[in-house]
A and B are shown apart, each in its own frame.
Chain A
Amino acid sequence: MKILVCVKRVLDPQVKARVKAGGSGVDLTNVKMTMNPFCENALEEALRMREAGVGEEIIVASVGGGKTEETLRHGLAMGADRAIQVVTEDNLEPLAIAKVLKAVADREGVGLVLTGKQAIDNDSNQTAQMMSALLGWSLATFCSDITIEGDKATVVREVDAGLETIEVKMPAVMSADLRLNEPRYVKLPDVMKAKRKPMDKIDLESLGIDTAKRLTTLQVEEPEGRAAGVIVNSVGELVEKLRNEAKVI
Protein backbone atom coordinates (compact mmCIF):
# COMPACT_ATOMS: atom_id res chain seq x y z
CA MET A 1 0.00 0.00 0.00
CA LYS A 2 1.31 3.41 -0.98
CA ILE A 3 0.79 6.08 1.65
CA LEU A 4 0.48 9.80 0.97
CA VAL A 5 1.38 11.97 3.94
CA CYS A 6 0.33 15.61 3.53
CA VAL A 7 2.39 18.08 5.52
CA LYS A 8 2.43 21.83 6.09
CA ARG A 9 5.18 24.32 6.78
CA VAL A 10 4.17 26.54 9.71
CA LEU A 11 5.52 29.01 12.23
CA ASP A 12 7.40 27.11 14.94
CA PRO A 13 4.93 26.29 17.73
CA GLN A 14 7.24 27.79 20.36
CA VAL A 15 7.28 31.17 18.60
CA LYS A 16 4.53 33.65 19.39
CA ALA A 17 2.83 35.01 16.30
CA ARG A 18 3.14 38.78 15.77
CA VAL A 19 0.59 40.68 13.77
CA LYS A 20 2.00 42.96 11.06
CA ALA A 21 1.49 46.67 11.49
CA GLY A 22 -1.44 47.61 9.27
CA GLY A 23 -3.27 44.38 10.04
CA SER A 24 -2.61 42.55 6.78
CA GLY A 25 -1.54 39.31 8.45
CA VAL A 26 0.99 37.65 10.71
CA ASP A 27 4.64 38.57 10.24
CA LEU A 28 6.55 35.53 8.99
CA THR A 29 9.77 37.26 7.96
CA ASN A 30 12.88 35.94 9.69
CA VAL A 31 10.99 33.65 12.05
CA LYS A 32 11.65 29.98 12.64
CA MET A 33 9.45 27.70 10.55
CA THR A 34 8.95 23.96 11.05
CA MET A 35 6.80 21.07 9.94
CA ASN A 36 3.39 21.34 11.61
CA PRO A 37 3.61 19.10 14.72
CA PHE A 38 0.49 17.07 13.86
CA CYS A 39 1.92 16.44 10.38
CA GLU A 40 4.99 14.95 12.05
CA ASN A 41 2.67 12.57 13.92
CA ALA A 42 1.05 11.62 10.61
CA LEU A 43 4.40 10.95 8.96
CA GLU A 44 5.69 9.02 11.97
CA GLU A 45 2.63 6.76 11.78
CA ALA A 46 3.25 6.09 8.09
CA LEU A 47 6.86 5.19 8.86
CA ARG A 48 5.74 2.75 11.54
CA MET A 49 3.26 1.20 9.12
CA ARG A 50 6.07 0.64 6.64
CA GLU A 51 8.23 -0.85 9.37
CA ALA A 52 5.35 -3.16 10.31
CA GLY A 53 4.96 -4.26 6.70
CA VAL A 54 1.57 -2.56 6.23
CA GLY A 55 2.83 0.35 4.15
CA GLU A 56 5.22 0.22 1.24
CA GLU A 57 6.20 3.49 -0.35
CA ILE A 58 5.70 6.70 1.60
CA ILE A 59 5.23 9.91 -0.33
CA VAL A 60 5.33 13.17 1.56
CA ALA A 61 3.56 16.07 -0.15
CA SER A 62 3.02 19.75 0.48
CA VAL A 63 1.61 22.75 -1.32
CA GLY A 64 3.57 25.99 -1.12
CA GLY A 65 6.34 28.27 -2.24
CA GLY A 66 10.11 27.95 -2.40
CA LYS A 67 10.90 27.12 1.20
CA THR A 68 8.31 24.38 1.39
CA GLU A 69 11.13 22.21 0.06
CA GLU A 70 12.92 22.51 3.43
CA THR A 71 9.89 21.03 5.19
CA LEU A 72 9.66 18.21 2.65
CA ARG A 73 13.39 17.52 3.08
CA HIS A 74 12.71 17.18 6.79
CA GLY A 75 10.03 14.62 5.93
CA LEU A 76 12.51 12.74 3.75
CA ALA A 77 15.05 12.86 6.60
CA MET A 78 12.44 11.35 8.91
CA GLY A 79 12.18 8.48 6.44
CA ALA A 80 9.70 9.19 3.63
CA ASP A 81 10.78 7.66 0.32
CA ARG A 82 10.09 10.63 -1.90
CA ALA A 83 8.52 14.06 -1.88
CA ILE A 84 6.13 16.04 -4.03
CA GLN A 85 5.92 19.81 -3.84
CA VAL A 86 3.01 21.47 -5.60
CA VAL A 87 4.55 24.86 -6.18
CA THR A 88 2.60 28.05 -5.69
CA GLU A 89 3.31 31.33 -3.98
CA ASP A 90 -0.40 31.78 -3.28
CA ASN A 91 -1.69 31.06 0.19
CA LEU A 92 -4.40 28.53 -0.68
CA GLU A 93 -7.48 27.86 1.42
CA PRO A 94 -8.13 24.38 2.83
CA LEU A 95 -10.70 23.50 0.14
CA ALA A 96 -8.21 24.32 -2.60
CA ILE A 97 -5.42 22.46 -0.77
CA ALA A 98 -7.71 19.43 -0.47
CA LYS A 99 -8.46 19.54 -4.22
CA VAL A 100 -4.77 19.76 -5.07
CA LEU A 101 -3.78 16.94 -2.71
CA LYS A 102 -6.66 14.81 -4.00
CA ALA A 103 -5.16 15.18 -7.47
CA VAL A 104 -1.81 14.02 -6.07
CA ALA A 105 -3.46 11.04 -4.35
CA ASP A 106 -5.23 10.09 -7.60
CA ARG A 107 -2.07 10.44 -9.65
CA GLU A 108 -0.01 8.31 -7.27
CA GLY A 109 -2.67 5.65 -6.69
CA VAL A 110 -2.26 5.66 -2.93
CA GLY A 111 -4.33 3.52 -0.56
CA LEU A 112 -4.11 5.76 2.47
CA VAL A 113 -3.83 9.49 3.07
CA LEU A 114 -2.50 10.67 6.42
CA THR A 115 -2.52 14.30 7.56
CA GLY A 116 -2.18 16.21 10.79
CA LYS A 117 -5.56 16.98 12.37
CA GLN A 118 -4.94 20.70 12.36
CA ALA A 119 -2.28 23.15 11.22
CA ILE A 120 -1.25 25.32 14.11
CA ASP A 121 -1.13 28.49 12.01
CA ASN A 122 -4.64 28.85 10.62
CA ASP A 123 -6.21 26.35 13.05
CA SER A 124 -8.77 25.41 10.39
CA ASN A 125 -8.89 21.64 10.98
CA GLN A 126 -10.42 20.90 7.56
CA THR A 127 -8.05 19.39 5.01
CA ALA A 128 -8.39 15.68 5.87
CA GLN A 129 -12.17 15.89 6.11
CA MET A 130 -12.39 17.72 2.78
CA MET A 131 -10.05 15.25 1.07
CA SER A 132 -12.19 12.34 2.22
CA ALA A 133 -15.25 14.02 0.69
CA LEU A 134 -13.50 14.75 -2.60
CA LEU A 135 -12.00 11.25 -2.85
CA GLY A 136 -15.22 9.59 -1.66
CA TRP A 137 -13.16 7.68 0.90
CA SER A 138 -13.77 6.87 4.54
CA LEU A 139 -12.70 9.38 7.14
CA ALA A 140 -11.09 8.97 10.54
CA THR A 141 -10.20 12.23 12.25
CA PHE A 142 -8.20 12.91 15.45
CA CYS A 143 -6.68 9.42 15.50
CA SER A 144 -4.77 8.24 18.54
CA ASP A 145 -4.43 4.61 17.41
CA ILE A 146 -4.61 3.01 13.96
CA THR A 147 -4.60 -0.71 13.17
CA ILE A 148 -4.87 -1.69 9.51
CA GLU A 149 -5.86 -5.23 8.65
CA GLY A 150 -6.49 -6.00 5.01
CA ASP A 151 -9.19 -3.75 3.60
CA LYS A 152 -10.26 -2.42 7.01
CA ALA A 153 -8.76 -0.26 9.71
CA THR A 154 -9.70 0.04 13.35
CA VAL A 155 -9.15 3.56 14.60
CA VAL A 156 -9.33 5.10 18.05
CA ARG A 157 -10.35 8.75 17.86
CA GLU A 158 -9.90 11.46 20.48
CA VAL A 159 -13.32 13.05 20.93
CA ASP A 160 -14.69 15.51 23.49
CA ALA A 161 -16.22 12.72 25.60
CA GLY A 162 -13.11 10.53 25.58
CA LEU A 163 -12.08 7.88 23.08
CA GLU A 164 -14.25 6.55 20.26
CA THR A 165 -13.37 3.44 18.26
CA ILE A 166 -14.56 3.13 14.68
CA GLU A 167 -13.86 0.76 11.84
CA VAL A 168 -13.26 2.23 8.39
CA LYS A 169 -12.99 0.67 4.96
CA MET A 170 -9.78 1.23 3.09
CA PRO A 171 -8.83 3.37 1.23
CA ALA A 172 -9.21 6.06 3.85
CA VAL A 173 -8.17 9.53 4.90
CA MET A 174 -6.97 9.80 8.48
CA SER A 175 -5.89 12.78 10.56
CA ALA A 176 -3.39 12.38 13.37
CA ASP A 177 -3.83 13.57 16.92
CA LEU A 178 -0.92 14.12 19.29
CA ARG A 179 -1.14 10.84 21.16
CA LEU A 180 -0.90 8.77 17.99
CA ASN A 181 2.86 8.44 18.47
CA GLU A 182 6.02 10.31 19.35
CA PRO A 183 7.78 11.45 16.16
CA ARG A 184 11.39 10.31 15.85
CA TYR A 185 14.33 12.68 15.97
CA VAL A 186 16.18 13.14 12.74
CA LYS A 187 19.88 12.20 12.82
CA LEU A 188 22.53 13.94 10.75
CA PRO A 189 23.17 10.98 8.40
CA ASP A 190 19.43 10.96 7.65
CA VAL A 191 19.60 14.61 6.72
CA MET A 192 22.44 13.84 4.30
CA LYS A 193 20.55 10.89 2.85
CA ALA A 194 17.44 13.01 2.41
CA LYS A 195 19.31 15.32 0.04
CA ARG A 196 19.57 12.49 -2.48
CA LYS A 197 15.96 11.34 -2.27
CA PRO A 198 13.62 12.26 -5.15
CA MET A 199 11.74 15.56 -4.94
CA ASP A 200 9.09 16.13 -7.61
CA LYS A 201 7.99 19.68 -8.23
CA ILE A 202 4.62 20.21 -9.85
CA ASP A 203 3.53 23.64 -10.97
CA LEU A 204 0.08 24.31 -9.48
CA GLU A 205 -1.13 25.77 -12.80
CA SER A 206 -0.34 22.53 -14.60
CA LEU A 207 -2.97 20.67 -12.52
CA GLY A 208 -5.79 22.83 -13.90
CA ILE A 209 -7.59 22.98 -10.56
CA ASP A 210 -9.80 25.91 -9.60
CA THR A 211 -8.15 27.28 -6.48
CA ALA A 212 -9.91 30.64 -6.46
CA LYS A 213 -10.29 32.18 -3.02
CA ARG A 214 -13.69 31.94 -1.39
CA LEU A 215 -12.72 34.04 1.60
CA THR A 216 -11.20 37.49 1.78
CA THR A 217 -9.25 38.37 4.88
CA LEU A 218 -10.25 41.93 5.64
CA GLN A 219 -8.13 42.41 8.70
CA VAL A 220 -5.84 40.60 11.12
CA GLU A 221 -5.45 42.08 14.57
CA GLU A 222 -4.05 41.19 17.95
CA PRO A 223 -6.58 40.20 20.57
CA GLU A 224 -7.00 42.43 23.59
CA GLY A 225 -4.40 41.60 26.17
CA ARG A 226 -5.20 40.83 29.79
CA ALA A 227 -4.54 43.45 32.42
CA ALA A 228 -1.47 42.73 34.50
CA GLY A 229 -2.09 40.59 37.56
CA VAL A 230 -0.53 40.51 40.99
CA ILE A 231 1.73 38.05 42.76
CA VAL A 232 0.34 36.98 46.11
CA ASN A 233 2.60 35.86 48.91
CA SER A 234 0.60 33.08 50.49
CA VAL A 235 -2.29 30.71 50.01
CA GLY A 236 -4.15 32.70 52.67
CA GLU A 237 -3.79 35.91 50.68
CA LEU A 238 -4.88 34.10 47.50
CA VAL A 239 -8.05 32.76 49.10
CA GLU A 240 -8.83 36.16 50.62
CA LYS A 241 -8.48 37.88 47.24
CA LEU A 242 -10.57 35.26 45.42
CA ARG A 243 -13.30 35.67 48.05
CA ASN A 244 -13.34 39.41 48.59
CA GLU A 245 -11.71 41.03 45.58
CA ALA A 246 -12.53 38.77 42.61
CA LYS A 247 -15.59 37.29 44.35
CA VAL A 248 -15.32 34.05 42.41
CA ILE A 249 -15.41 31.58 45.30
Chain B
Amino acid sequence: MSNLVIVEHDNNEVAAATLHAVTAAQQIGGDVDLLVAGENCAGVAEAAAKIMGVSTVKLADDAKFGHHLAENLSSLICEVASGYSHVLASATTFGKNVMPRAAALLDVAQISDIVEVKSEDTFVRPIYAGNALATVQSADSIKVITVRTIKFEAAAAEGGSAGVEAISGGSDTGLSSWVSQAVSNTDQVDLTSAKVVVSGGRGMQSGDNFAMLHSVADKLGAAVGASRAAVDSGFVPNELQVGQTGKVIAPDLYIAVGISGAIQHLAGMKESKVIVAINNDSEAPIFQVADYGLVADLFEAVPELDAAL
Protein backbone atom coordinates (compact mmCIF):
# COMPACT_ATOMS: atom_id res chain seq x y z
CA MET B 1 0.00 0.00 0.00
CA SER B 2 1.07 3.53 -0.65
CA ASN B 3 -0.73 6.74 0.14
CA LEU B 4 -0.61 10.11 -1.54
CA VAL B 5 -1.92 13.06 0.45
CA ILE B 6 -2.71 16.23 -1.48
CA VAL B 7 -1.34 19.15 0.53
CA GLU B 8 -3.63 22.14 0.96
CA HIS B 9 -1.69 25.40 1.14
CA ASP B 10 -1.61 29.04 0.10
CA ASN B 11 1.87 28.84 -1.50
CA ASN B 12 3.29 29.90 1.89
CA GLU B 13 2.10 27.51 4.56
CA VAL B 14 0.74 24.00 4.87
CA ALA B 15 -2.92 24.19 5.96
CA ALA B 16 -3.54 22.60 9.36
CA ALA B 17 -6.27 20.44 7.82
CA THR B 18 -3.64 18.51 5.83
CA LEU B 19 -2.01 17.24 9.03
CA HIS B 20 -5.24 15.41 9.88
CA ALA B 21 -5.40 13.82 6.44
CA VAL B 22 -1.81 12.60 6.93
CA THR B 23 -2.91 10.81 10.09
CA ALA B 24 -5.75 9.10 8.22
CA ALA B 25 -3.23 7.96 5.59
CA GLN B 26 -0.95 6.59 8.32
CA GLN B 27 -3.86 4.62 9.75
CA ILE B 28 -4.44 3.03 6.34
CA GLY B 29 -0.82 1.89 6.45
CA GLY B 30 2.12 1.83 4.05
CA ASP B 31 4.17 4.76 2.81
CA VAL B 32 2.76 8.25 2.96
CA ASP B 33 3.86 10.65 0.23
CA LEU B 34 2.68 14.21 -0.16
CA LEU B 35 1.90 16.23 -3.27
CA VAL B 36 2.51 19.97 -3.10
CA ALA B 37 1.20 21.67 -6.24
CA GLY B 38 1.33 25.43 -6.49
CA GLU B 39 3.36 28.37 -7.67
CA ASN B 40 6.58 29.45 -5.92
CA CYS B 41 5.77 26.99 -3.20
CA ALA B 42 9.15 25.34 -2.55
CA GLY B 43 8.87 26.60 1.05
CA VAL B 44 5.65 24.69 1.46
CA ALA B 45 7.34 21.51 0.25
CA GLU B 46 10.19 22.04 2.73
CA ALA B 47 7.71 22.48 5.57
CA ALA B 48 5.72 19.47 4.39
CA ALA B 49 8.89 17.36 4.41
CA LYS B 50 9.14 17.94 8.17
CA ILE B 51 5.74 16.41 8.88
CA MET B 52 6.26 13.27 10.93
CA GLY B 53 5.93 9.98 9.07
CA VAL B 54 6.16 11.28 5.50
CA SER B 55 8.37 9.40 2.99
CA THR B 56 8.58 11.72 -0.02
CA VAL B 57 7.20 15.13 -0.93
CA LYS B 58 6.45 15.60 -4.61
CA LEU B 59 6.65 19.22 -5.63
CA ALA B 60 4.90 20.49 -8.77
CA ASP B 61 5.86 24.15 -8.84
CA ASP B 62 4.16 25.72 -11.84
CA ALA B 63 2.07 28.84 -12.51
CA LYS B 64 -0.78 26.66 -13.74
CA PHE B 65 -1.27 25.36 -10.19
CA GLY B 66 -0.92 28.77 -8.55
CA HIS B 67 -4.52 29.11 -7.45
CA HIS B 68 -5.30 25.39 -7.17
CA LEU B 69 -7.97 25.55 -9.83
CA ALA B 70 -9.73 22.22 -10.03
CA GLU B 71 -9.27 21.50 -13.73
CA ASN B 72 -5.46 21.76 -13.78
CA LEU B 73 -4.88 20.30 -10.34
CA SER B 74 -7.14 17.30 -10.92
CA SER B 75 -5.25 16.49 -14.14
CA LEU B 76 -1.99 16.42 -12.16
CA ILE B 77 -3.46 14.33 -9.35
CA CYS B 78 -4.79 11.88 -11.92
CA GLU B 79 -1.29 11.43 -13.37
CA VAL B 80 0.51 11.13 -10.03
CA ALA B 81 -2.16 8.88 -8.50
CA SER B 82 -1.36 5.95 -10.77
CA GLY B 83 1.51 4.96 -8.49
CA TYR B 84 -0.63 4.84 -5.34
CA SER B 85 -3.33 2.71 -3.74
CA HIS B 86 -4.88 5.61 -1.80
CA VAL B 87 -5.15 9.32 -2.59
CA LEU B 88 -6.38 11.52 0.24
CA ALA B 89 -7.15 15.14 1.00
CA SER B 90 -8.93 16.90 3.81
CA ALA B 91 -12.68 17.43 3.37
CA THR B 92 -12.33 21.21 3.20
CA THR B 93 -13.63 23.29 0.31
CA PHE B 94 -10.20 22.70 -1.29
CA GLY B 95 -10.52 18.91 -1.12
CA LYS B 96 -14.22 18.86 -1.92
CA ASN B 97 -13.61 20.91 -5.05
CA VAL B 98 -10.72 19.03 -6.62
CA MET B 99 -10.86 15.42 -5.40
CA PRO B 100 -14.11 14.26 -7.04
CA ARG B 101 -12.87 15.71 -10.34
CA ALA B 102 -9.66 13.71 -9.99
CA ALA B 103 -11.62 10.58 -9.03
CA ALA B 104 -13.77 10.83 -12.15
CA LEU B 105 -10.66 11.26 -14.33
CA LEU B 106 -9.33 8.07 -12.73
CA ASP B 107 -12.73 6.39 -13.18
CA VAL B 108 -12.96 5.54 -9.49
CA ALA B 109 -15.43 6.37 -6.74
CA GLN B 110 -14.66 8.94 -4.10
CA ILE B 111 -15.28 8.11 -0.48
CA SER B 112 -16.25 11.45 1.02
CA ASP B 113 -15.60 12.72 4.50
CA ILE B 114 -14.36 9.56 6.22
CA VAL B 115 -14.46 9.54 10.02
CA GLU B 116 -12.78 6.18 10.61
CA VAL B 117 -10.39 3.81 8.85
CA LYS B 118 -11.56 0.20 9.41
CA SER B 119 -9.04 -1.39 7.06
CA GLU B 120 -7.21 -0.59 3.87
CA ASP B 121 -10.45 -0.80 1.87
CA THR B 122 -13.16 -0.16 4.45
CA PHE B 123 -14.11 3.21 5.88
CA VAL B 124 -16.85 4.83 7.94
CA ARG B 125 -18.52 7.99 6.74
CA PRO B 126 -21.44 10.03 8.01
CA ILE B 127 -24.58 10.35 5.89
CA TYR B 128 -27.84 12.23 6.44
CA ALA B 129 -26.20 15.11 8.29
CA GLY B 130 -24.42 12.67 10.58
CA ASN B 131 -27.65 11.00 11.71
CA ALA B 132 -26.30 7.75 10.31
CA LEU B 133 -22.84 6.27 9.87
CA ALA B 134 -22.22 4.10 6.82
CA THR B 135 -19.40 1.55 6.70
CA VAL B 136 -18.36 1.23 3.06
CA GLN B 137 -15.93 -1.09 1.33
CA SER B 138 -14.23 0.01 -1.86
CA ALA B 139 -13.47 -2.29 -4.79
CA ASP B 140 -11.51 0.34 -6.73
CA SER B 141 -7.78 -0.14 -7.34
CA ILE B 142 -7.14 3.48 -6.37
CA LYS B 143 -9.17 4.75 -3.44
CA VAL B 144 -9.84 8.48 -3.53
CA ILE B 145 -10.78 9.74 -0.08
CA THR B 146 -11.58 12.99 1.67
CA VAL B 147 -11.03 13.13 5.41
CA ARG B 148 -13.18 14.74 8.09
CA THR B 149 -10.45 16.50 10.00
CA ILE B 150 -12.07 16.53 13.44
CA LYS B 151 -12.01 12.73 13.60
CA PHE B 152 -8.26 12.34 13.10
CA GLU B 153 -5.55 13.88 15.27
CA ALA B 154 -3.10 16.21 13.55
CA ALA B 155 0.21 14.61 12.56
CA ALA B 156 3.22 16.32 14.13
CA ALA B 157 4.29 19.19 11.88
CA GLU B 158 7.94 18.81 12.93
CA GLY B 159 10.30 15.91 13.31
CA GLY B 160 10.17 14.28 9.90
CA SER B 161 12.87 14.41 7.23
CA ALA B 162 11.32 13.42 3.93
CA GLY B 163 13.01 14.07 0.62
CA VAL B 164 11.58 16.59 -1.81
CA GLU B 165 11.29 15.48 -5.42
CA ALA B 166 10.41 18.01 -8.11
CA ILE B 167 7.93 16.71 -10.65
CA SER B 168 6.21 18.07 -13.72
CA GLY B 169 2.94 17.07 -15.30
CA GLY B 170 -0.71 18.01 -15.37
CA SER B 171 -2.36 19.98 -18.13
CA ASP B 172 -2.84 23.70 -18.39
CA THR B 173 -6.46 23.35 -19.45
CA GLY B 174 -7.06 27.09 -19.63
CA LEU B 175 -10.66 26.42 -18.59
CA SER B 176 -10.76 28.73 -15.61
CA SER B 177 -8.78 31.52 -14.04
CA TRP B 178 -8.59 33.02 -10.60
CA VAL B 179 -9.81 36.59 -10.17
CA SER B 180 -9.79 37.51 -6.49
CA GLN B 181 -10.41 36.40 -2.96
CA ALA B 182 -12.30 38.39 -0.37
CA VAL B 183 -10.12 38.01 2.70
CA SER B 184 -11.94 37.87 5.98
CA ASN B 185 -10.70 39.41 9.19
CA THR B 186 -7.53 37.43 9.83
CA ASP B 187 -7.16 38.79 13.38
CA GLN B 188 -9.90 36.48 14.53
CA VAL B 189 -9.32 33.03 15.96
CA ASP B 190 -9.61 30.27 13.34
CA LEU B 191 -13.00 28.62 13.61
CA THR B 192 -11.88 25.13 12.60
CA SER B 193 -9.08 24.84 15.14
CA ALA B 194 -10.45 26.94 18.04
CA LYS B 195 -10.76 25.28 21.46
CA VAL B 196 -13.79 27.40 22.23
CA VAL B 197 -16.44 28.62 19.79
CA VAL B 198 -19.25 31.07 20.45
CA SER B 199 -21.93 30.84 17.76
CA GLY B 200 -24.97 32.97 17.05
CA GLY B 201 -28.16 32.19 15.19
CA ARG B 202 -31.30 33.84 13.96
CA GLY B 203 -32.04 34.95 17.53
CA MET B 204 -29.18 37.44 17.31
CA GLN B 205 -31.50 39.56 15.12
CA SER B 206 -28.71 41.54 13.43
CA GLY B 207 -25.07 41.52 12.48
CA ASP B 208 -24.39 44.35 14.91
CA ASN B 209 -25.54 42.22 17.80
CA PHE B 210 -22.72 39.77 17.04
CA ALA B 211 -20.47 42.33 18.79
CA MET B 212 -21.78 40.83 22.05
CA LEU B 213 -20.51 37.41 20.99
CA HIS B 214 -17.15 38.81 19.88
CA SER B 215 -16.73 40.34 23.33
CA VAL B 216 -17.37 37.01 25.06
CA ALA B 217 -15.18 35.23 22.49
CA ASP B 218 -12.27 37.61 23.14
CA LYS B 219 -12.37 36.80 26.86
CA LEU B 220 -12.38 33.05 26.16
CA GLY B 221 -9.85 33.14 23.32
CA ALA B 222 -12.68 31.77 21.23
CA ALA B 223 -13.69 31.89 17.59
CA VAL B 224 -17.09 33.18 16.53
CA GLY B 225 -19.35 30.97 14.44
CA ALA B 226 -22.89 31.13 13.16
CA SER B 227 -25.84 29.05 12.10
CA ARG B 228 -27.02 28.92 8.52
CA ALA B 229 -29.98 31.13 9.45
CA ALA B 230 -27.63 33.89 10.61
CA VAL B 231 -25.57 33.66 7.43
CA ASP B 232 -28.63 33.52 5.17
CA SER B 233 -29.99 36.60 6.95
CA GLY B 234 -26.78 38.43 6.12
CA PHE B 235 -25.74 38.94 9.77
CA VAL B 236 -22.29 37.43 9.18
CA PRO B 237 -20.24 36.14 6.22
CA ASN B 238 -20.44 32.56 4.90
CA GLU B 239 -17.10 31.43 6.30
CA LEU B 240 -18.58 31.51 9.79
CA GLN B 241 -21.24 28.91 9.00
CA VAL B 242 -21.16 25.78 11.12
CA GLY B 243 -23.22 22.85 9.88
CA GLN B 244 -23.81 20.01 7.44
CA THR B 245 -22.77 22.13 4.49
CA GLY B 246 -20.58 24.63 6.31
CA LYS B 247 -17.71 23.87 8.66
CA VAL B 248 -17.74 20.78 10.84
CA ILE B 249 -16.03 21.52 14.13
CA ALA B 250 -15.45 19.86 17.48
CA PRO B 251 -14.12 22.39 19.99
CA ASP B 252 -13.77 21.68 23.71
CA LEU B 253 -16.57 24.16 24.37
CA TYR B 254 -19.32 25.26 21.98
CA ILE B 255 -21.66 28.00 23.11
CA ALA B 256 -24.79 28.23 20.93
CA VAL B 257 -26.59 31.53 21.35
CA GLY B 258 -30.02 32.09 19.83
CA ILE B 259 -29.64 28.94 17.73
CA SER B 260 -32.67 26.64 17.53
CA GLY B 261 -30.66 23.56 16.60
CA ALA B 262 -31.84 22.51 13.14
CA ILE B 263 -30.59 19.09 11.96
CA GLN B 264 -28.16 20.68 9.52
CA HIS B 265 -26.61 22.85 12.27
CA LEU B 266 -26.24 19.99 14.76
CA ALA B 267 -24.32 18.10 12.05
CA GLY B 268 -21.55 20.67 12.29
CA MET B 269 -21.09 20.90 16.08
CA LYS B 270 -22.54 17.93 17.93
CA GLU B 271 -19.11 16.33 18.38
CA SER B 272 -18.02 19.26 20.55
CA LYS B 273 -16.87 18.09 23.99
CA VAL B 274 -19.11 20.44 25.96
CA ILE B 275 -22.12 22.18 24.46
CA VAL B 276 -23.86 25.17 26.03
CA ALA B 277 -27.17 26.44 24.68
CA ILE B 278 -28.66 29.82 25.47
CA ASN B 279 -32.12 30.24 24.00
CA ASN B 280 -35.43 31.72 25.15
CA ASP B 281 -37.40 28.79 23.71
CA SER B 282 -37.19 25.88 26.13
CA GLU B 283 -38.51 23.57 23.38
CA ALA B 284 -35.66 24.38 20.99
CA PRO B 285 -33.96 21.17 19.74
CA ILE B 286 -30.53 22.58 20.64
CA PHE B 287 -31.29 21.73 24.28
CA GLN B 288 -31.41 18.03 23.37
CA VAL B 289 -27.68 18.04 22.60
CA ALA B 290 -26.64 20.63 25.18
CA ASP B 291 -24.69 19.62 28.29
CA TYR B 292 -25.72 22.89 29.88
CA GLY B 293 -28.88 24.68 28.82
CA LEU B 294 -29.94 28.15 29.88
CA VAL B 295 -33.47 29.20 29.00
CA ALA B 296 -33.11 32.97 28.89
CA ASP B 297 -33.30 36.07 26.77
CA LEU B 298 -29.91 36.18 25.11
CA PHE B 299 -29.86 39.98 25.21
CA GLU B 300 -29.76 39.74 29.00
CA ALA B 301 -27.81 36.52 29.40
CA VAL B 302 -24.90 37.28 27.04
CA PRO B 303 -23.92 40.62 28.63
CA GLU B 304 -24.21 38.94 32.02
CA LEU B 305 -21.98 36.11 30.84
CA ASP B 306 -19.53 38.66 29.44
CA ALA B 307 -19.40 40.41 32.81
CA ALA B 308 -18.94 37.14 34.72
CA LEU B 309 -15.91 36.03 32.73
Chain A residues contacting B104 (CB-CB under 8 Å) are: 95, 98, 129-131, 133-134
User: Which of B220, B247, B263, B308 is the one whose CB lies under 8 Å from A236?
Assistant: B308
A142 touches B105 (CB 8 A): no
Chain B residues contacting A162 (CB-CB under 8 Å) are: 181-184, 237-239
Main secondary structure of the interface of A (DSSP, over half): mixed
B292 touches A230 (CB 8 A): yes
User: Which of B96, B113, B173, B291 is the one whose CB lies under 8 Å from A141?
Assistant: B96
| Binary interface encoding of chain B residues 6-23 relative to chain A, with 1 for a CB under 8 A from any of its CBs, else 0 | 000000000000000000
Chain A residues contacting B305 (CB-CB under 8 Å) are: 235, 238-239
Interface residue count on the B side (C-beta < 8 Å): 90
Chain A residues contacting B164 (CB-CB under 8 Å) are: none
A93, closest chain B residue (CB): B109
A153, closest chain B residue (CB): B176
Q: Which residues 216-240 in A have Cβ within 8 Å of B in the complex? A: 216-223, 226-227, 229-232, 234-236, 238-239
- A221-B133, A238-B292 known; A168+B175 contact, CB < 8 A: yes
Answer whether residue A188 sits at the interface, using C-beta atoms and an 8 A cutoff.
no
Answer whether residue B309 sits at the interface, using C-beta atoms and an 8 A cutoff.
yes
Answer whether residue A117 sits at the interface, using C-beta atoms and an 8 A cutoff.
yes
**Number of chain A interface residues as a range:** 35 or more
User: Which of B71, B109, B174 is the one whose CB lies under 8 Å from A95?
Assistant: B109
Task: Output the least CB separation between B118 and chain A (Å).
Answer: 9
B110 touches A126 (CB 8 A): yes
A123 touches B292 (CB 8 A): no
Answer whether residue B108 sits at the interface, using C-beta atoms and an 8 A cutoff.
yes
Task: Output the least CB separation between B142 and chain A (Å).
Answer: 11
Q: Which residue, B105, B108, B134, B276, has most C-beta atoms of chain A within 10 A?
A: B134
Answer whether residue A179 sits at the interface, using C-beta atoms and an 8 A cutoff.
yes
Answer whether residue B196 sits at the interface, using C-beta atoms and an 8 A cutoff.
yes
A215 touches B109 (CB 8 A): yes
A121 touches B127 (CB 8 A): yes
User: Which of A125, A214, A235 is the one whose CB lies under 8 Å from B108?
Assistant: A214
Answer whether residue B130 sits at the interface, using C-beta atoms and an 8 A cutoff.
yes
13 example contacts (A-B, Cβ-Cβ < 8 A) are as follows A17-B131, A120-B129, A127-B100, A129-B101, A139-B175, A142-B96, A222-B131, A222-B133, A223-B130, A231-B293, A231-B295, A238-B292, A241-B292
Q: List chain A positions with a Cβ less than 8 A from chain B.
A: 11, 13-14, 16-17, 19, 26, 38, 93-95, 98, 117-118, 120-127, 129-134, 137-142, 144, 154, 157-169, 172, 177-179, 213-223, 226-227, 229-232, 234-236, 238-239, 241-242, 246, 248-249
Q: List chain B positions with a Cβ less than 8 A from chain A.
A: 67, 69-71, 74, 92-94, 96-105, 107-113, 122, 126-140, 173-184, 192, 196, 220, 228, 231-232, 237-239, 244-245, 247, 252-253, 262-264, 270, 273-276, 282, 287, 289-296, 301, 304-305, 308-309
